[in-house]
Amino acid sequence: MITTLAKTAFTRTGSALVVVASLFSAGTASAHQRWVNINNVGSSEIVGVYISNIDKENWGHRNLLGSYSIDVGYEMTVDPRRPEGYCRFDVLMEFADGSQTIAWDQNLCEATDIVVSESGYYTI
């Protein structure tokens, strides 16, 4: 009888640990980083960065650089304002010369850098 109780208690404890472990891993899986480094390799400073999830139809009014800019040869880390559980975002970068580059459908849960110039971009 004691052996049966010990096995039952062990089984319940083991099951509880599996449940707790799965809850912890589910929480960390949804807690992706969404920041990205914008690396300016162009010939004009970047004066605006706008990020929206792929389901939004507009960029919003908030320039993520605020009053800062990204000079040629420099980088800055930015975060989407409201990631809302998304990983995929469109990223608009405006240059001081008036040109723009849009990096469509970027997975910010995986990419850590967008290297950008007035003529295009690539992600790392």
- Listing DSSP states for 45-75 in one string gives -EEEEEEEETT-SS--S--TTTT--B-TT-E
Q: What is the pLDDT of residue 29?
A: 39
pLDDT of residue 99: 94
Burial grade of 91 (CB within 10 A; 0-12, 13-18, 19 or more): buried
Q: pLDDT tens digits for 111-123?
A: 999 999 988 999 9
Q: Which residue positions in the chain have pLDDT lower than 70?
A: 1-31
Q: Are 122 and 90 within 8 A, CB to CB?
A: no
Q: Residue 83 has what pLDDT?
A: 84
- What pLDDT is recorded for position 4? 52
